[in-house]
Amino acid sequence: MSSRGARRTAPCVRGRIRLSSELAPDEIRAHQLLPTREQQEARAEFTLAWHLHRAGRHDAAERHFRRAGELAPRDWTIRRGSLPIRGIDPMASEEFLALWQEGAPRSPAPPLPGAATSPGRD
């Protein structure tokens, strides 16, 4: 990050820190996006698949990578993250293009209620 980018980002980070320190624990918890049971299971499947892959059990790993994607279809960390591990191009493969057409996740996340927003963000 350039120093110019850091100068623009620092006030936003400070604002989030101030806002989070002013919120009660219940208010903070209300803004958290906690994983569902399926998302947690998908993470476990991904981790198991990664360990199987590293152990040379590629067929078993592939089944668990696919299951992880089924359980968390909107989780790019799981679905796109498994592509290079499986030997699939994460930028130009058919699998990636299909994932992209399903819809890329929004980034950055929407601001917390009451937080100052950056110019150009609605």
Q: Which domain holds residue 12?
A: 1-32
CA dist 70 and 79 (Å) reads 9
* Claim to verify: residue 41 and residue 92 sit in the same structural domain: yes
Q: How many domains does the chain have?
A: 2
Q: With respect to residue 72, please indicate whether it lies within any of the assigned structural domains.
A: yes
* Claim to verify: residue 57 and residue 81 sit in the same structural domain: yes
Q: Can you say whether the dihedral through the CA atoms of 76, 77, 83, 84 is positive or negative?
A: positive
Q: With respect to residue 118, please indicate whether it lies within any of the assigned structural domains.
A: no
| pLDDT for residue 1 is more than 60 | no
Better-scored residue on pLDDT, 8 or 54: 54
* Claim to verify: residue 55 and residue 84 sit in the same structural domain: yes
* Claim to verify: residue 54 and residue 26 sit in the same structural domain: no
* Claim to verify: residue 70 and residue 14 sit in the same structural domain: no
pLDDT tens-digit map of 3-39: 666 666 766 666 666 555 677 888 877 877 788 899 9
Query: Where does 1-112 have alpha helices with state H?
Result: 3-22, 25-31, 37-54, 58-71, 76-79, 82-85, 94-102
* Claim to verify: residue 57 and residue 82 sit in the same structural domain: yes
Closest CA to 78 of 50, 112, 51: 50
The whole-number pLDDT of residue 7 equals 65
Mean pLDDT, all residues of the chain: 80
Q: How confident is the model at residue 122 (pLDDT cuts 50, 70, 90)?
A: very low
* Claim to verify: residue 47 and residue 26 sit in the same structural domain: no
pLDDT tens-digit map of 61-106: 999 999 999 999 888 889 999 999 999 998 889 988 888 888 766 6
| pLDDT for residue 115 is more than 80 | no
